Amino acid sequence: MCGIVACVGQASAKPILMEGLKRLEYRGYDSAGIAVLNGQGMQLARAVGRVRVLEQSIDGDDRFEGTLGIAHTRWATHGGVTEINAHPHNDGGNHGIVLVHNGIIENHTALKTWLGQQGHEFASETDTEALVHLISELYEGDLAAAVRAALRQVEGAYAIAVMCKAEPGVLVAARRGSPLMIGVGPEGYLVASDAQALVTHARQVAAIDNDVVARITGDGFVTADLDNAPVTAKLQELDITLEQIELGAHEYYMAKEIEEQPVSVARCLRGRMDAKNGRVVLGGVAEHARTLVRAKRVVFLGQGTALHAGMIGARLIEDLAKIPCTAEFASEFRYRNPIIEDGTVVIPVSQSGETADTLAAVQEAQQRGALALGLVNVVGSTIARTTDAGVYLRVGPEIGVASTKAFLGQVTAAVLLSCYLGRSRVMSEEQAAELLRALETIPTLLEGVCADGDHARAVAQRFISRDNWLFLGRGYNYPVALEGALKLKEISYIHAEGMPAAEMKHGPIALIDEGMPVVVVATRNSQYRKVLSNIEEVRSRGGHVIGVITEGDDEAASLCEAVFTVPDVPAPLQPLLTIVPLQLLAYHAALLRGHDVDKPRNLAKSVTVE
């Protein structure tokens, strides 16, 4: 969704901000803007479309020289995609206050009405403009004080960066809900909604907490709550490197991230298991071991891909630890007055650690007494800091909007956690050892599966003209079918539906006509025979089956128009392999249809509004 980058210090702001905006592009956006403050006043430029359009519009324009600036990528929520609605927004020239904002100001209508009565005129349709005018209305010579006063009246979620003509060296930043951090580097200070935007210029970062306002100059920063009581922001070393977030020789981040999966899974496993002795070591969770042994119910929470990983997690926990477990859309869980009994553990799953629905659901569950364990990728993210404990995915930054390596990290972490819980309750050392020995082989097996791109391209080519696809699976592979369909929709814009293979008969079978592509995950496991029957049902209606099957399975192969093969592994680990061909299929289908797979239309990498 929207992205913020701002800086103040010794270096020229424009190149830092433009680079930051480019690094934020992956989040999804529809317009961009920049403002720089210097001796000649406030310079502001906005453009609809890509960051490069904005860059070209101010290329060589000396008026944008200066060492203090703010910039933004916008993903429209209130008001259409227009230059006027793009950020930064200003206070109509009143005090020369300029602001960028992520999130939603929920009481913007009431604020605009009141501000209108005070004589303010609004240029855009955005909620954000209410906030910049409110700050302006309350400004009495101290920008940080005006921001604090304004935010006391604001409802909703926000991350903001603000500057004011009368205070040329001062950058003010604040947040509630939407992520924001301060970066410290040799040439000054930065503010960004995402560590990726700071990586070139900052060595250390400090997260800004909810309802905290930071006043930042070239010499340092101070943080205080909305009543101006001092708050300490803890600086930490930045944990991502430039190499991790650069494309290198790859054409797209999604391709890079699919290829990285063997290494990502190996990193997620490293130091966390002792296969020989059937032992899982999860430092972050250990202090809650006594509570977990007594857990009566587990609920995974997530959205999108993360929910699909949670659905696999729920099966794992029931299978291996014998605790009743479900997975739910965080957005639904939160608003249905959930019953949290004693002994309930919630497990939010999130790549970004910032998804607003997931965060809100966890907070709701915690308030009702649940223990929360996070499966989160981004270290220090809001969900990671909100949960009581957790298991970091350690798959490295994921930039492609369509999640791939994070999904594998989420499933791997869920296997580890299930095995950990299982060992403390019902799993024997031998059972755990057997599963962990198989888990240990996954990174090597993934190398072969991830290298199947040429074959995936050929298969995609055969079916690329078809606009409707079905994805079927059972048991552990049912969430894989959902995830495969989601990948195809997200980046190729082909209509795809995933479902349990048996459910097809209860309605969707009516859709099958001659040549319809039906992707079926049919690896060898306890439901294998049933899935073969479902394949027959598809074939007899003219559907063309693309099978994901176990290596050497000639019987299944003979029923399919096209096959992807994966090595044989125990059923609980199969999703770690069976999803990969579906990622590759979606990737190549999108390329064949001429789409930018890293910037799919309408999508945001991290959805920070409900």
**Does residue 479 contact residue 311 with C-beta atoms inside 8 Å?**
yes
Q: What is the 3-state secondary structure (H, E, C) of 436-468?
A: HHHHHHHHHHHHHHHCCHHHHHHHHHHHCCCCE
Stretch that binds ligand G6P, among 241-249, 292-300, 348-356, 463-471 (CB under 6 A): 348-356
Residue 303 CB neighbour total at 10 angstroms: 21
* CA-angle at 385, arms to 263 and 192, nearest 5°: 80
CA 514, 515, 517, 522 dihedral sign is positive
Instruction: Using DSSP, state whether 67 is helix, strand or coil.
Output: coil
Cβ nearer to ligand G6P, comparing 9 with 390: 390
Q: Is 605 a catalytic residue?
A: yes
In angstroms, what is the minimal distance from the CB of 414 to ligand G6P? Answer: 13
- Catalytic residue at 560? no
Nearer to ligand G6P, 43 or 331 (CB): 331
Which of 378, 380, 381, 383 shows the shortest CA–CA distance to 301?
383
Rounded CA-CA distance 130/109 in Å is: 8
Residue among 358, 386, 550, 608 that touches ligand G6P (CB under 6 A): 358
Q: Which stretch binds ligand G6P (CB under 6 A): 203-211, 241-249, 349-357, 470-478?
A: 349-357
**What distance in Å separates the CA atoms of residue 437 and residue 356, rounded to the nearest whole number?**
37
Segment near ligand G6P (CB under 6 A); pick from 124-132, 135-143, 352-360, 439-447: 352-360
> Which residues ranging from 207 to 246 are in contact with ligand G6P (CB under 6 A)?
none
Site string for ligand G6P, 190-209 (x = CB under 6 A): --------------------
Residues 587-606 that bind ligand G6P (CB under 6 A): 603-606
In whole angstroms, how close is the CB of 410 to ligand G6P at the nearest point? 8
Cα–Cα nearest to 282, from 154, 415, 163, 452: 415
Q: By CB under 6 A, how many residues form the interface with ligand G6P? A: 16
Count of CB atoms situated within 10 Å of the CB of 293? 10
Instruction: Name beta bridge partners: 206.
Output: 182
Q: Closer to ligand G6P at the Cβ: 20 or 397?
A: 397
Beginning with the edge strand found earlier in the chain, give each strand of the sheet holding 89-90 in spatial order: 89-90, 97-105, 156-164, 167-176, 212-217, 220-225
Sorted by sequence, the CB contacts under 8 Å of residue 100 that are 6+ apart come out as 4, 6, 33, 35, 70, 71, 72, 87, 88, 89, 160, 161, 162
Which residue's CB is nearer to ligand G6P, number 304 or number 517? 304
Helix axes 108-117, 128-138, angle to 10 degrees: 40
Residue 192 beta carbon to ligand G6P: minimum distance, rounded to whole angstroms: 17
* 178, 193, 196, 350: residue in contact with ligand G6P (rule CB under 6 A): 350
374 to 403, contacts with ligand G6P by CB under 6 A? 401, 403
Residue 309 token pair: 């990983």
29 and 87 Cβ atoms separated by less than 8 Å: no
Range 296-315, binding ligand G6P (CB under 6 A): 303-306
Among 126, 355, 386, 525, binds ligand G6P (CB under 6 A): 355
CB of 350 to ligand G6P, least distance (A): 3
Residue 95 C-beta: closest distance to ligand G6P, Å: 37
Tell me the closest approach of the beta carbon of residue 147 to ligand G6P, in angstroms: 28
Nearer to ligand G6P, 69 or 103 (CB): 103
Which one among 585, 607, 608, 609 touches ligand G6P, defined by CB under 6 A?
A: 607
By CB under 6 A, is residue 185 in contact with ligand G6P?
A: no
Residue 455 and residue 558: Cα distance in Å, rounded? 18
Stretch that binds ligand G6P, among 68-76, 347-355, 456-464, 566-574 (CB under 6 A): 347-355
Burial 52-65 (b: 16+ CB within 10 A, else e): eebbeebeeeeebe
User: Which residue number, 132 or 482, has a Cβ lying nearer to ligand G6P?
Assistant: 482
**Longest C-alpha distance within the chain, in Å?**
78
Residue entry with tokens 């301060």? 182
Site map (CB under 6 A) of ligand G6P, residues 399-418, x = contact:
--x-x---------------
Looking at 22, 256, 489, 605, which residue is catalytic? Answer: 605
CB contact at 8 A, 309 and 350: no
Q: Can you tell me which of 351, 404, 565, 583 binds ligand G6P, judged by CB under 6 A?
A: 351
> For ligand G6P, which residue has the nearest CB?
304
Contact 160, 99 (CB under 8 A): yes
Q: Would you say 150 or 375 has its CB closer to ligand G6P?
A: 375
The residue among 273 and 401 lying less far from ligand G6P, judged by its C-beta, is 401
d(CA 474, CA 119): 62
Nearest residue (CB) to ligand G6P, 223 versus 355: 355
**Exposed, middle or buried by CB within 10 Å (0-12, 13-18, 19+), for 204?**
middle
Work out how close the CB of 361 gets to ligand G6P at its nearest, in angstroms, rounded to a whole number: 11
Catalytic residue among 2, 7, 164, 268: 2
Query: Minimal distance in Å, beta carbon 336 to ligand G6P?
Result: 20
Shortest CB 431 distance to ligand G6P, Å: 30
Contact (Cβ atoms closer than 8 angstroms) between residue 200 and residue 187:
no
What is the residue whose two structure tokens read 């079918």?
481
Q: 453 has which bridge partners?
A: none
Q: Which is nearer to ligand G6P, 24 or 607 (CB)?
A: 607
Cβ 490 to ligand G6P shortest distance, Å: 7
Q: Which range in 100-108, 212-220, 344-352, 389-397 contacts ligand G6P by CB under 6 A?
A: 344-352
Which of 292/309 has CB closer to ligand G6P?
Answer: 309
Amino acid at 104: I
Q: Could you tell me the smallest distance in angstroms from the CB atom of residue 24 to ligand G6P? A: 15
- Does residue 352 touch ligand G6P according to CB under 6 A? yes
Question: CA 322, CA 610: separation in Å to the nearest integer?
Answer: 33
488 near ligand G6P, judged by CB under 6 A? no
* Residues at the site binding ligand G6P, with contacts judged by CB under 6 A: 303-306, 350-352, 355, 358, 401, 403, 603-607
Q: So which residues are the catalytic ones?
A: 2, 605
